Structure 1
Amino acid sequence: MSETIDVRSREAQYRGLRTALGERFTGIRYAEPPIGPLRFRPPVPVEHSGLVDATHFGFAPPQVKRTMPAWAPRGDGFETGEDCLNLNIYTPKADDRRRPVIVHAFGGGFQTGSAHGTFHRDEAFAQDGDVVLVRPNMRVGALGFLALGDAFGSDYAAANRGMLDFVAALHWVHDNISAFGGDPDNVTLAGMSSGSFTISALFGVDGIDHLYRRVWLMSGPASRIIAPETAAALADDFLDRAGVARGDVAALEALPVETILEVQDKVLATHLGERNAPGGRTFGIVLDGASLQRHPLDGLASGRFAAHRIVTGWTRDEARMWYAFGMMPDVTSREALLASIGRFRPDDAEAALAALEAEQPGLGFTQYEEIFLSRAIYRDPALKTLAAHAASGGTGIGYQFEWVPAFEGGKLGAAHGFDEPFVFGSLANTPLADGDSAAAVLARRMTRTLLGFARNGTCDWPAFIPDEPLYATFP
């Protein structure tokens, strides 16, 4: 059972729902609909007035919905649409308690994801943790991250629109969350994969450090930044395939969203190494010099974020997921393996492979590629993120997640994304953990750690020290 509840903030009154698990306010627009002439522009903030209906979910961003295996986490599902710049708030009570605020950025390879209808137990998480949870939707795919500035001018087509959407949501949270029981001066950002890459990119953005105090990064350190020329080449390929001439704004705005989704799939690489190596054909945060003023590692090294505490984690077998989904071909020769490693280590691929062979002798070519990619894309950049932060006086904490589900003899390993339901208390919606009592204990421990970190910045895990790269391992 639920009943409506009204809350006033600034010029508006928000009507949400009170349930047995607390109060929720959903589908709140934080920017104007990005449609028509606003389709490829930065988000335009909106100021509400009067009564705002916050009892229904809004749209998630347009995306191609993939068929997921039976063992993947399950949710209720969601509808998609271009009018997707909305957020959801979950709070124990919309009062004046000034609880810690956690803003969650969803993952999905910069192509998919939603702020609702997924496996997360949002209301229970907020109620049990006595925190306010905010989950924004933002643009993804070509609508959010295709860099069209060279072809249409940066005044019309801003780079990093999805990241700018997230920043717009943070501004809304800062201005309004106190009315919903949250503390705007105690905000922690938490995300996984592309959501984490988006959050970590904010260390390269000027003028927003007051909007958050801490970050919890899962498999998305401050590293995966795309060069402008790489992004421009991808955009040219997209426009050619879509039949849109450079500068033809009318044709760009008239593209059906279904065509945009179809074409973006054709221009993106599916091989994990090709996507993530320098020059890779993928969506992500572009170092355009305008929305992203500097590389986030340079932002951390400057010391301007020394007061912002960071937790950054990765799973031991990150790349295993792409092999499990059949997206990665077997590596059939040493030469092919060296070529894969060479995308990241062009000057010393032989030495990198020799080190792996010495560490873990007797493995197959595909196994060596998987281990290398897991480390080169996720673990090693996470350690670089922590090192840059620590060198400038900041406090950072790293962890490696090693839980392996029993499914088919452990064939999935500790794969990409497996830590998120543990951290966010959503293990009940994860079939792989059914009947695993040890996993339930670990989940309670990790959720408590996130909540404590959000409350006061403390964490029992060892802090990263330059030249002594300690990190916690779980379990």
Structure 2
Amino acid sequence: MTGSTVVDASSREATYRGLKNDAGARFLGIRYAEPPIRHLRFKPPAPYENHGLVDASRHRFAPPQTLHPRPDWAPRGAGFETGEDCLNLNVYTPAADDGRRPVIVHAFGGGFQGGSAHGTFHDEAGFARRGNVVLVRPNMRVGALGFLHLGEVFGPDYAAANRGMLDLIAALEWVRDNIAAFGGDPDNVTVVGMSSGSFTIAALFGVDGVADLYRRAWLMSGPASRLIAPETATALAADFLDQVGVQPGNVEALQALALDDILAAQGKVLATHLGERNAQGGRRTFGIVLDGASLQRHPLEGLAGGQFRYHGLVAGWSRDEARMWYASGMMPEVADRPALLASIERFRPEDAERQLVSLEAEEPGLSYTAYEEIFLSRAIYRDPALRTLATHAESGGIGFAYEFRWVPKFEGGRLGAAHGFDEPFVLDSASPERFPLADGDPAAACLATDMSAALIRFAATGEPGWQSYGAGAFIRHWP
């Protein structure tokens, strides 16, 4: 950090030594749970208490993952190192004082297989300074280490379900206990997530004992849906164990697995088709498992029960969510009408034909692939977001909906308003050097200012600046 000096923040038994400059202060790589290695590899996060002087001047490991080449137009960051000792978090604050600023905890996305709390495109320090908030970005386990469902074959005493979600809860507990020392208000915490990070946050509505850890949630393309049935998750785990040659119940062999073998095996057992991954119950994918223990009930049931009626909620999606998978070649072309109907039937088996006829009437003359893209964008993201908001409203809660419609000029707009394109704007990190798709569009900077201001306003007051979603079913369109 150029031109930086040291800065201390003392909380409980520890003094955290970070860095500060004109952009504010940052405290990096703070451990919030025991390293999940060796005998703790597939266990819930174990409590950890920092003591004495803690070096918080540098990033630690992001979670293990397979890193793939990215297109030139993808968001850019400095990069990150990965390792199993990854349960750490980063704090960005205008000042480590008694300011009691709103706290925003950001959960990264990455399809439950990747992502990092640092080294990405985010302008964390600038966002915290401009918004006068404290930003916390925790690293959490992903992939097989975070979400492979092993409890049925190894027993819940050894292998906990939804470990990545439990990591997020542990990070929120650290925030509750320590963030006041960093200038934040532990009674005013907003959780913000994108994609798998958002799905993980939404899952908390089905978890007992967490409502007091945060006050508000801003969900980007990850509503209270995409829950995986235990039997489906167990079948995936069996395929994984076959790949790595570990017999059910052989804890020693599981602990001894090389990290590279784990990453290679998970790549072989997971689906890439967007519909297959996200259909009800989940198919060959990692995600939140409705196990009844770590996740006591479906998140929609939690919302309907009213435990979160006093929590503010924003749920957003991009208009062309699925376009990303087609543009990147991950989704195949749809050959004919029967194949399209089969894709729709994954989500709507009772009325697939009616769904397709309705789409054809709404947008006549499109290709089968285009119809599948529109359907999946709505079935996976838009429609569940609206159900989440409607359930919250019915229980007495206040929520807000938005649809993101900004289309980059890149290659004539072929990417559309795709999955994840709203996050750089919501977190005010849409400068061309960070988000190349914004290059050449003077309106992008204004949009980032407006959307990030809405998040800051929501974190401070519970009001993002537009009409709530209720009887009028109001949806804010950006831009």
Same fold, judged at TM 0.5 (above): yes
* TM-aligned CA deviation for residue 469 of structure 1: 2.2
Q: Tell me which residue corresponds to 2:117.
A: 115
Find the partner of 1:445 among 436, 441, 450. 450
* TM-aligned CA deviation for residue 75 of structure 1: 0.2
Find the partner of 2:475 among 464, 471, 475. 471
* TM-aligned CA deviation for residue 6 of structure 1: 1.6
Structure 1 Cα separation of the partners of residues 47 and 457 of structure 2: 32
Structure 2 Cα separation of the partners of residues 256 and 413 of structure 1: 40
Structure 2 Cα separation of the partners of residues 123 and 312 of structure 1: 25
Q: Tell me which residue corresponds to 1:370.
A: 373
Q: Tell me which residue corresponds to 2:429.
A: 426
Contact 2:105-2:191 at 8 Å conserved across structures: yes
* TM-aligned CA deviation for residue 438 of structure 1: 1.1
Spell out the pairing of 1:172-211 with structure 2 (5 A cutoff).
172-211=174-213
* TM-aligned CA deviation for residue 442 of structure 1: 1.0
Structure 2 Cα separation of the partners of residues 201 and 459 of structure 1: 22
Q: Describe the SS at the equivalent of 1:408.
A: helix
Structure 2 Cα separation of the partners of residues 80 and 46 of structure 1: 21
Structure 2 Cα separation of the partners of residues 238 and 214 of structure 1: 37
Find the partner of 1:130 among 129, 132, 138. 132
Find the partner of 2:462 among 457, 461, 466. 457
Does 1:411 find its partner at 2:414? Answer: yes
Q: Tell me which residue corresponds to 1:270.
A: 272
Structure 1 Cα separation of the partners of residues 333 and 325 of structure 2: 11
Which sections of structure 2, spanning at least 5 residues, go unmatched?
none
Structure 2 Cα separation of the partners of residues 249 and 29 of structure 1: 26
Q: Describe the SS at the equivalent of 1:374.
A: helix
Structure 2 Cα separation of the partners of residues 443 and 362 of structure 1: 35
Indicate the percent of aligned positions where both proteins have the same amino acid.
70
Q: Describe the SS at the equivalent of 1:179.
A: helix
Q: Describe the SS at the equivalent of 1:28.
A: strand
Structure 1 Cα separation of the partners of residues 449 and 58 of structure 2: 30
Structure 2 Cα separation of the partners of residues 408 and 56 of structure 1: 38
Structure 1 Cα separation of the partners of residues 301 and 342 of structure 2: 29
Q: Describe the SS at the equivalent of 1:427.
A: coil
* TM-aligned CA deviation for residue 356 of structure 1: 0.3
Structure 2 Cα separation of the partners of residues 167 and 415 of structure 1: 29
Structure 2 Cα separation of the partners of residues 106 and 48 of structure 1: 24
Contact 2:65-2:114 at 8 Å conserved across structures: yes
Structure 2 Cα separation of the partners of residues 62 and 443 of structure 1: 31
TM-score under structure 1 length normalisation? 0.99
Structure 2 Cα separation of the partners of residues 277 and 57 of structure 1: 37
Structure 2 Cα separation of the partners of residues 168 and 130 of structure 1: 25
Q: Tell me which residue corresponds to 1:46.
A: 48
* TM-aligned CA deviation for residue 20 of structure 1: 1.9
Q: Tell me which residue corresponds to 2:58.
A: 56
Does 1:357 find its partner at 2:337? Answer: no
Spell out the pairing of 1:148-187 with structure 2 (5 A cutoff).
148-187=150-189
* TM-aligned CA deviation for residue 241 of structure 1: 1.1
Letter in 2 for 1:153: G
Contact 2:457-2:465 at 8 Å conserved across structures: no
* TM-aligned CA deviation for residue 435 of structure 1: 2.2
Q: Tell me which residue corresponds to 1:82.
A: 84
Q: C-alpha root-mean-square deviation of aligned residues, in Å?
A: 0.6
* TM-aligned CA deviation for residue 19 of structure 1: 1.7
**CA offsets, 1:295-336, max 9 Å, x none?**
000000011100001001000000000001100000010000
Structure 2 Cα separation of the partners of residues 19 and 365 of structure 1: 54
* TM-aligned CA deviation for residue 439 of structure 1: 1.4
Structure 2 Cα separation of the partners of residues 368 and 113 of structure 1: 30
**CA offsets, 1:389-430, max 9 Å, x none?**
000000010000000001111000000000000000000111
Contact 2:198-2:219 at 8 Å conserved across structures: yes
* TM-aligned CA deviation for residue 280 of structure 1: 1.4
Structure 2 Cα separation of the partners of residues 334 and 131 of structure 1: 51
* TM-aligned CA deviation for residue 293 of structure 1: 0.3
Count matched residues. 474
**CA offsets, 1:362-408, max 9 Å, x none?**
10100000000000000000000000000000001000000000111
Letter in 2 for 1:470: F
Letter in 1 for 2:180: S
Spell out the pairing of 1:268-347 with structure 2 (5 A cutoff).
268-278=270-280, 279-347=282-350
Structure 1 Cα separation of the partners of residues 68 and 167 of structure 2: 24
Which sections of structure 1, spanning at least 5 residues, go unmatched?
none
Q: Describe the SS at the equivalent of 1:173.
A: helix
**CA offsets, 1:160-195, max 9 Å, x none?**
000000000000000000000000000000010000
Query: Which runs of at least 4 in structure 1 moved beyond 3 Å after TM superposition?
Result: none
Q: Describe the SS at the equivalent of 1:217.
A: strand
Q: Describe the SS at the equivalent of 2:6.
A: strand
Contact 2:8-2:96 at 8 Å conserved across structures: no
* TM-aligned CA deviation for residue 45 of structure 1: 1.4
* TM-aligned CA deviation for residue 259 of structure 1: 0.5
Structure 1 Cα separation of the partners of residues 454 and 171 of structure 2: 25
Spell out the pairing of 1:137-148 with structure 2 (5 A cutoff).
137-148=139-150
Q: Tell me which residue corresponds to 1:250.
A: 252
Find the partner of 1:384 among 381, 384, 387. 387
Structure 1 Cα separation of the partners of residues 240 and 50 of structure 2: 36
